[in-house]
């Protein structure tokens, strides 16, 4: 049974509840019309999702055991935690949120504001919404929508954790995070996707951030899924005038990861910073497709991705920059730095520029290299064993990006995840030195 049929079968078993069910059915129908991507599609030529059609997914499961520990426990933050797709009140701290932050949980909205939820999900079942975005709306067991009031500055970060606990039955979760920032609002948002266990589960995540005039949002999105998991992530950024969004995409854990970042700069003064780090190790496939659409004059984008492929891992970076006709004073830069650590690994990096205007500054560069032999010798001559020296250099390569994350706890989490496979590196990084 294909993925779409699995969803259809599942929706049949759920008794219709007002307009929400209709919106889910419409979204599923939209996904059917769009069709799931195939490698014959230009945008998916590097990433074969055929495995999703061969897995018998179970959509009807309910949350089971609570995870032993929720990550970033030491971070002072407003927490919203979902476990296996369902909101977990015990792990969340909604009561700390000020009134300037309006937070809607889908499971509550389905009874309290059904029309709003139907409308919200309905938006993903029409127009140019992708098949996966539509499937997210069709399947989202729960989700969260956050509105930041005008001029409100959220001091502690908003931490949204989607946890998948280990199970044998392959499940589908559809994490959904929607943020809309009022004029001049400021917030830092951490979105974590964490999994454990061996199951071949699917995370089909949808995130949308829209900002009004002058709003500033930092968004750190980390993927640390379980070893056999597939993660499909759709991220939409819609940036208002004089507003700035910084996004950091960290892809570490999961068998197959595909992240689509679609950024619209449709108002003057809008600015986006896109950073990414991915580490494709043994049997991993990690694909980032980013698309920055400069639709208004005086907009800028600055993108830096660092990727690593090791073992038979494969990393893909495809960065599209579009400058629409008639706009001017555009600054767009893009850099893709990659490290290939093995003969069997593969990196595919491709800038794609569609420039229909003249008044702009645009620079892009892509590199694929190996570890610096001089640096390797330097470390070894100091007494660092070769394996550790290599691990340190690889760590250093990504650290150049990670160091820009202002949240130390998140840096530490990523570093420790990164060091998971390397005992020596973990030891070097442990013990808070100075």
> The tokens of 295 are what?
């639709």
Q: How many CB atoms lie within 10 A of CB 346?
A: 17
Q: Give the position of tokens 């495995």.
A: 51
* 35/136 Cα distance (integer angstroms): 14
Assess 423 for contact with other proteins (CB under 8 A). no
Phi then psi for 407, rounded to 5 degrees? -90, 105
How many residues sit close enough to other proteins to count as binding (CB under 8 A)? 32
Assess 68 for contact with other proteins (CB under 8 A). no
Q: Cα dihedral angle (70, 73, 78, 81), rounded to 10 degrees?
A: 0
Residue number with CB closer to other proteins (89 or 375): 375
Of 141, 58, 67, 150, the residue nearest 102 (C-alpha): 150
Assess 362 for contact with other proteins (CB under 8 A). no
Minimum distance, C-beta of residue 431 to other proteins, in the bound complex (Å): 4
E strand segments, 100-197: 101-105, 144-148, 158-164, 172-173, 176-181, 186-195
Assess 59 for contact with other proteins (CB under 8 A). no
Of 187, 174, 254, 243, the residue nearest 220 (C-alpha): 187
Assess 248 for contact with other proteins (CB under 8 A). no
Assess 44 for contact with other proteins (CB under 8 A). no
Site map 317..356 versus other proteins, x via CB under 8 A? ----------------------------------------
Residue number with CB closer to other proteins (80 or 384): 384
Assess 426 for contact with other proteins (CB under 8 A). no
Site map 379..398 versus other proteins, x via CB under 8 A? xxxxxxxx-xx--xx-xxxx
Minimum distance, C-beta of residue 381 to other proteins, in the bound complex (Å): 5
CA dist list (Å): 178 to 104, 160, 224, 257, 344: 10, 11, 20, 21, 39
Q: Which of these ranges, 245-253, 320-328, 347-355, 368-376, lies near other proteins under the rule CB under 8 A?
A: 368-376
Assess 427 for contact with other proteins (CB under 8 A). yes
Please pick, from the candidates 76, 344, 372, 423, the single residue that binds other proteins as defined by CB under 8 A. 372
Minimum distance, C-beta of residue 404 to other proteins, in the bound complex (Å): 11
Q: Are 3 and 53 in contact (CB under 8 A)?
A: yes
Residue number with CB closer to other proteins (197 or 396): 396
Residue number with CB closer to other proteins (232 or 279): 279
Beta bridge partners of 105: 144
Minimum distance, C-beta of residue 396 to other proteins, in the bound complex (Å): 3
Q: Are 47 and 38 in contact (CB under 8 A)?
A: no
Assess 310 for contact with other proteins (CB under 8 A). no
CA dist list (Å): 199 to 39, 230, 250, 280: 24, 10, 22, 19
Provide the binding-site residues for other proteins, judged by CB under 8 A. 372-375, 377-386, 388-389, 392-393, 395-400, 403, 424, 427-429, 431, 433-434
């Amino acid at each position: 049974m294909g993925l779409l049929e699995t969803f259809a079968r599942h929706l049949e078993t759920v008794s219709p509840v007002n307009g929400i069910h209709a919106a889910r059915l419409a979204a599923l129908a939209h996904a059917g019309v769009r069709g799931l991507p195939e490698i014959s599609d230009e945008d998916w030529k590097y990433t074969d999702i055929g495995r999703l059609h061969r897995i018998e997914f179970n959509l009807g499961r309910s949350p089971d055991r609570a995870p032993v520990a929720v990550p970033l426990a030491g971070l002072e933050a407003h927490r919203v935690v979902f476990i296996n797709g369902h909101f977990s009140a015990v792990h969340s701290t909604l009561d700390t949120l000020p009134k300037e932050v309006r937070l809607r949980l889908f499971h509550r909205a389905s009874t309290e504001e059904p029309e709003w939820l139907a409308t919200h999900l309905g938006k993903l079942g029409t127009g140019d919404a992708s098949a996966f975005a539509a499937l997210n709306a069709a399947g989202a067991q729960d989700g969260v929508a956050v509105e930041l009031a005008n001029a409100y500055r959220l001091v502690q970060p908003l931490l949204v954790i989607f946890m998948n606990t280990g199970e044998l039955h392959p499940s589908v979760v559809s994490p959904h995070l929607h943020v809309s920032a009022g004029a001049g609002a400021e917030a830092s948002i951490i979105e974590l996707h964490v999994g454990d266990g061996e199951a071949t589960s699917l995370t089909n995540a949808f995130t949308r951030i829209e900002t009004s005039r002058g709003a500033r949002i930092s968004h750190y999105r980390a993927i640390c899924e379980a070893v056999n998991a597939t993660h499909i992530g759709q991220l939409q950024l819609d940036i208002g005038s004089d507003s700035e969004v910084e996004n950091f995409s960290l892809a570490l854990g999961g068998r197959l990861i595909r992240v689509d970042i679609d950024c619209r700069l449709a108002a003057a003064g809008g600015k986006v910073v896109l950073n990414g780090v991915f580490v494709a190790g043994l049997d991993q496939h990690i694909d980032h497709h980013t698309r920055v659409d400069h639709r208004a004059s005086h907009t800028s984008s600055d993108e830096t991705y660092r990727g690593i492929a090791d073992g038979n891992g494969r990393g893909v970076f495809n960065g599209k920059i579009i400058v629409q006709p008639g706009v001017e004073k555009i600054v767009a830069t893009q850099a893709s730095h990659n490290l290939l650590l093995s003969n069997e690994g593969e990196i595919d990096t491709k800038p794609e520029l569609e420039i229909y205007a003249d008044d702009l500054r645009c620079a892009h560069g892509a590199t694929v290299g190996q570890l610096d032999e001089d640096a390797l010798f330097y470390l070894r001559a100091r007494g660092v064993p070769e394996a550790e020296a290599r691990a340190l250099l690889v760590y250093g390569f990504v650290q150049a990006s990670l160091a820009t994350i202002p949240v130390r706890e998140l840096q530490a989490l990523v570093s420790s995840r990164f060091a998971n496979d390397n005992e020596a590196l973990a030891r070097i990084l442990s013990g808070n030195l100075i």
